Structure 1
Amino acid sequence: MFLVLTRVLLWLLVLVIFFYLFFRIVPKAYFTFLGGLLLAVFVVLLFVDPTDRTATTAWAILSLPFRPLGIVWLLLAQGLRGWKAGVISRSAQNELRSAFVLLWLFSTPFLWQWMYHNSIEPQISRLARITQEQTSETLVLLAHNTVEPQVEGRSQLQLGDRGNLLLYANQLYQQGSITRIIVSGGERLEFPTPDTQTDNPARSTNEADLAVELLSRLGVPRTSILVDRTSPNLRRSVLGVRQVLAENNIAPPVLLVSRALSMYRSASSFVQAGIAVIPRPTDYVAFIDPDQMRDPVFTLESIIPSYQGLALATQLTDEYLLTIYYFLRGWLSPTELTCIECQLNAASPHSTFSEPLLATDGFPQ
């Protein structure tokens, strides 16, 4: 009951914030019945099929007021509305100043490096150390954004933004305890659609196929790889991997390879679906020593605005927004997140963990 009430209250809060911003920014003259109907269609599409191209566009629009660049853009738009006949109103001046200050803060690398050091990644780093002795014969690789298509003009397979996940999965396999890798991915909406069908995996636009091709070139036998080709996002991967496990009579737990920033959401989503996992995070942003939590080194360059700072701010914000979205959809719950916290609080030099850190029945007592 408490979980349902929390989700309902959070839904109401999100809707109030969104409609407040919508009515404040959009002139009433343009807010017609047709515009409202179009907005309602976007919301419905967003929650019916999150992988639909229209729904993806709707998410980009609906989340704009909550993202760093979107906040700055909306303040600038509001400020420009107050500029009439060469005169800027006082409220518009304040909005333009606020946009300038926020853009500087959002683009400051040191601020967001500090946020990474003191938010999610330190806890995930400690989890990785606590569970380093646990293992499984099955590894799940979330191949989203790990590869780029081999289109015309490219003679090689290219790693994507999260290409480190492929390298880490291969490293774990080569250590010898893993007998199979489940690669989960799908068609990326922004990938170009090939004109003709081809049997060459390197020419595929499916992330799972491209990841399998790269893993095989790194030395992983194709007979040791199971593929889920229908999962372009985390939610689909959870359902796809669960089906692969059932079809091949593979029992959890599984090693889960995901980037450190999204490991909370990834692990909790798998646990919510009944799949016990042992987290294997990589692709860290922060330079973390779990025993000595030190803040990042301050330098003059670290406070100069740059696109790296804005990228860090956007990644962290997107992860928080997606975590809220997954919670609202019922795809994860605070129980699993609390489970991680309890494990961390219970960890000590004399503690031993013989069970998966995340399991469907909570954490080991």
Structure 2
Amino acid sequence: MLVLLTRVLLWATLGLLIWYILTKIIPQKYLTWFGGVVVLTLIIASFADPNDETIGTIWRLISMPLTPLGATVLLLGSSISDGIEKVKGRQVVAALAILLVTSLPIFSRYIVSRSELEVQRAFTARAEQCAEVCPASVIGGQLNRAGAIVVLGSDAGDAKESVAFQSSTDQAYNSNLVPRLIYASQLYGDARQAGADPFVIVTADPGGESEASEAKRRNMRTVLLNNGVPERAIAFESTGLNVHSTARQVDGFLQDRQVLPALSNRDEPTDARILLVAPAMTMTRSALTFEEMGMQVIAKPTDFYSVNTWSGGDTFSRLPDIIPSVDALQLTSRYWDEVLTSTYYFLRGWLPGFDFGWNPNIEV
């Protein structure tokens, strides 16, 4: 009941906040047009995809003013709403401040490092606890109980861009996925040595039966085969609309293969573990989503963006840290998008509670 009440209050608070921002930035005569665009988008999205993504599409639209780029664009647009000759200085200053701060490398690395440090601390704390109290069969992340190694692709929040992978077909797909596939192969080898025989499930499958889709699956399979994963252990699940739909697909696959029992018959101490390979920035949301659906997760984060929050060396070598850059703005935007997405997941009931911190029940 408390969680439900929190969701209702949060929905109301966000709605009022967004409406307040819009009424202050967008002239009243344009709000009617904005409402029409929202309704039209809702109708189009419901026909294009009648599943869960309809609400997700609208969420991205209405939360745009809360993003660094969206806030900057709206503020600049508001500053010239009365004409170029009557520019509103306060809105320009506010837009410039948002753009300047969010594009500073030192700022972007700081906020991202705090998020990723939580995952690193979880590794250290879990290792220390396990060294003292865990039986010998558990030390090492319970790899002997691994039922599947799930590699998340674009459903984990990757950028849409991709680069060509050097193969016989020279097909292009997200290059961020290659290190995850190699890491999953290493985890498979470790799990086999520990006595487990897990599937390696790649959720970056584009889906469909086209020649391009088949070529991408073939390239991903080649990476796994070249790194020691046998053909029988490789499986592909089409990338879901989001991590929640992906987790549902993975759960169905594992039940069909009798790796996991039906949800009503699951027992946490004895159930097979799911090794989840995903970016560190999105690992908390991804792991909690799988956990909320009744799967026991062993988190294996990758793609750490932050190593140090400040460059070493003399003052001159640190100068780039305080010079705005497009890369820093992109990193800040990705972090903030993860915050908004986590909020959205909570509002949809896809997270177990209003706590975006690390869940101690998730194994690392």
Shared topology, TM-score over 0.5?
A: yes
Correspondences of 1:214-253 after superposition (within 5 Å) = 214-229=223-238, 231-251=240-260, 252-253=272-273
Q: Does 1:141 align with 2:155?
A: no
Correspondences of 1:87-236 after superposition (within 5 Å) = 87-88=86-87, 92-118=88-114, 120-129=115-124, 130=126, 133-134=140-141, 135=143, 136-137=145-146, 138-144=148-154, 145=158, 148=162, 155-158=169-172, 160=174, 162-163=176-177, 164-175=179-190, 176-177=192-193, 179=197, 180-187=199-206, 197-198=210-211, 201-202=214-215, 204=216, 211-229=220-238, 231-236=240-245
Superposition TM-score, scaled by structure 2 size? 0.76
Query: What is the Cα deviation at residue 337 of structure 1?
Result: 5.0
Residue 264 of structure 2 corresponds to: none
Structure-2 change in CA distance of 1:210 and 1:320 (3 Å): farther
Structure-2 change in CA distance of 1:238 and 1:335 (3 Å): same
Correspondences of 1:45-64 after superposition (within 5 Å) = 45=45, 49-51=51-53, 58-64=58-64
2:201–2:235 Cα contact (<8 Å) kept: yes
Q: Which amino acid aligns with 1:123?
A: E
Residues 133-187 of structure 1 show CA distances to partners (whole Å, capped at 9, x for unaligned) of 1124321111224994879xx9524452532322321222233446321222353
Query: What is the Cα deviation at residue 125 of structure 1?
Result: 1.1
Structure-2 change in CA distance of 1:336 and 1:64 (3 Å): closer
Structure-2 change in CA distance of 1:43 and 1:7 (3 Å): farther
Q: Which amino acid aligns with 2:292?
A: Q
| C-alpha distance in structure 2 between counterparts of 1:64 and 1:335, whole Å | 22
Q: Which amino acid aligns with 2:99?
A: L
Query: What is the Cα deviation at residue 27 of structure 1?
Result: 3.0
Aligned length in residues: 319
| C-alpha distance in structure 2 between counterparts of 1:228 and 1:268, whole Å | 20
Q: Does 1:302 align with 2:321?
A: yes
Give the secondary-structure state (helix, strand or coil) at the position aligned to 1:300: helix
| C-alpha distance in structure 2 between counterparts of 1:173 and 1:125, whole Å | 22
- Once the two structures are overlaid, the 10-residue window that deviates more, 275-284 or 134-143, is 134-143
Query: What is the Cα deviation at residue 331 of structure 1?
Result: 0.3
Q: Does 1:39 align with 2:53?
A: no
Correspondences of 1:63-102 after superposition (within 5 Å) = 63-84=63-84, 86-88=85-87, 92-102=88-98
Structure 1 residue runs without a partner (length 5+): 289-294, 344-356
Q: Does 1:333 align with 2:347?
A: no
| C-alpha distance in structure 2 between counterparts of 1:181 and 1:236, whole Å | 18
| C-alpha distance in structure 1 between counterparts of 2:296 and 2:175, whole Å | 27
Give the secondary-structure state (helix, strand or coil) at the position aligned to 1:334: coil
Q: Which amino acid aligns with 1:243?
A: G
Q: Among the aligned pairs, what percent are the same residue?
A: 26
Query: What is the Cα deviation at residue 339 of structure 1?
Result: 6.4
Query: What is the Cα deviation at residue 115 of structure 1?
Result: 1.3
Q: Which amino acid aligns with 2:95?
A: A
Residue 317 of structure 1 corresponds to: 336
Residue 358 of structure 1 corresponds to: 362
Query: What is the Cα deviation at residue 102 of structure 1?
Result: 1.6
Give the secondary-structure state (helix, strand or coil) at the position aligned to 1:81: coil
Superposition TM-score, scaled by structure 1 size? 0.76
Residues 30-88 of structure 1 show CA distances to partners (whole Å, capped at 9, x for unaligned) of 444x7535524545858963446xx665444322101111111111111122445x343
| C-alpha distance in structure 2 between counterparts of 1:264 and 1:200, whole Å | 30
| C-alpha distance in structure 2 between counterparts of 1:40 and 1:235, whole Å | 25
Correspondences of 1:253-264 after superposition (within 5 Å) = 253-264=273-284
The alignment's C-alpha RMSD in Å is 3.3
| C-alpha distance in structure 1 between counterparts of 2:354 and 2:101, whole Å | 34
Residue 289 of structure 2 corresponds to: 269
Give the secondary-structure state (helix, strand or coil) at the position aligned to 2:235: strand
Residues 88-111 of structure 1 show CA distances to partners (whole Å, capped at 9, x for unaligned) of 3xxx11111121122111110011
Residue 347 of structure 1 corresponds to: none
More helix by share: 2
Residues 314-357 of structure 1 show CA distances to partners (whole Å, capped at 9, x for unaligned) of 010000000000000000022775662xx4xxxxxxxxxxxxx4
1:209–1:229 Cα contact (<8 Å) kept: no
Match of 1:284 among 304, 329, 340: 304
Give the secondary-structure state (helix, strand or coil) at the position aligned to 2:176: coil
